[in-house]
Amino acid sequence: EDQVTQSPEALRLQEGESSSLNCSYTVSGLRGLFWYRQDPGKGPEFLFTLYSAGEEKEKERLKATLTKKESFLHITAPKPEDSATYLCAVEDYGGSQGNLIFGKGTKLSVKP
């Protein structure tokens, strides 16, 4: 059974204090791993798609990496506006495209 586990559940950082969020996954065949950002009361906002181990993608202060069993979302010098819940999801080759298995998310708070 496909599973996605995110840690930590919550993370509090000071502005400028870099850190990483973890996403461990179990799938029979990884079609893709997705990172989303979700603000309270809003839908998830797409950040990255990763496909194969060793792949990395960057966007502003965010960098996502992928291994065969986990993905990391690195946040460099975060700002208060980076506060949100970050969701990781996987898409299995056994399912149709768009059938994403999500983790519970990591709630990030960045204090000024």
Partner 1 sequence: DAGVTQSPTHLIKTRGQQVTLRCSPKSGHDTVSWYQQALGQGPQFIFQYYEEEERQRGNFPDRFSGHQFPNYSSELNVNALLLGDSALYLCASSLSGQARYGYTFGSGTRLTVV
- CA-based nearest residue to 89, from 4, 21, 24, 20: 4
What one-letter code names the amino acid at 64?
Answer: A
Decide if residue 84 touches partner 1 (CB under 8 A): no
Q: Which of 73, 84, 90, 100 binds partner 1 (CB under 8 A)?
A: 100
Decide if residue 57 touches partner 1 (CB under 8 A): no
How many separate helices (H) and strands (E) can be counted in the chain? 0, 11
Count how many Cα atoms sit within 13 Å of the Cα of residue 12 in the half-sphere of its side chain: 2
Pair of tokens at residue 23: 């996403």
Report in angstroms how near the CB of residue 112 gets to partner 1 at its nearest. 26
Question: 26-55: which residues touch partner 1 (CB under 8 A)?
Answer: 31-32, 34, 36, 41-46, 49, 51
What residues make contact with partner 1 under the rule CB under 8 A? Answer: 4, 31-32, 34, 36, 41-46, 49, 51, 87, 89, 91, 95-105
